[in-house]
Structure 1
Amino acid sequence: MAWLADYPREKVKWYPTVDLSKCTRCGICMNCGKQVFTWTTKGPEVTNPTACTIGCTTCSNLCEGNAITFPSKLELRELYEKERLWAKVTKQMKRDGFLEFKEI
């Protein structure tokens, strides 16, 4: 996964937290393509946190009750800086052909 360039996903504390007291049970979070949530009798529960895409906040942005939050992006940026992940990600993306010029 280019987002981490071989850095262990389990070491990255990036996943949503749900405040059930704010949850309106709209279900929009269940559209997560990574299946981070499981629907329970109380509402959504984060049952697959490490499946969450690093940096994604779509569920939080769409949450009707503003019940979903994420860690600070600043903390995520600090991790990328400390572990020098930006250079590693760029190198991997070039190797995988994602940063090639294409005529359009």
Structure 2
Amino acid sequence: MAPSSIMDVLYCSIYDADGKSINTIKQLSTDAGFGTITTNLPAGNYTLVFAGGKTGLVFVNMLSSEKATLNTDVLTYNNNNASTGLADYTIKDTYYKKSL
């Protein structure tokens, strides 16, 4: 289980053997079961990518969901600065793990 004191958001993105995106699961630290991912997949080979960080971490498919692949997905931070109202792209602690 991911400690909610370290992460506010956790993503699990699942790719098929060809690297095409099947599903991306997003959990917030306030969700019940934060850090536990459960899914059903048909038999086969998959790549799982886990990414977690603080509020504002965004997992973006750079192409349409039909064409998104392991090579086109991006992690970025997108927050608004409360005092200025401007976008704040400061990188915060980010955790990443790719499993084949």
**Larger relative strand fraction:** 2
Higher relative contact order (CA 8 A, sep 6+): 1
Q: Which has the larger radius of gyration?
A: 1
TM, length-normalised to structure 1? 0.25
TM-score by length of 2: 0.26
Counting helix residues as a fraction of each chain, which structure ranks higher?
1
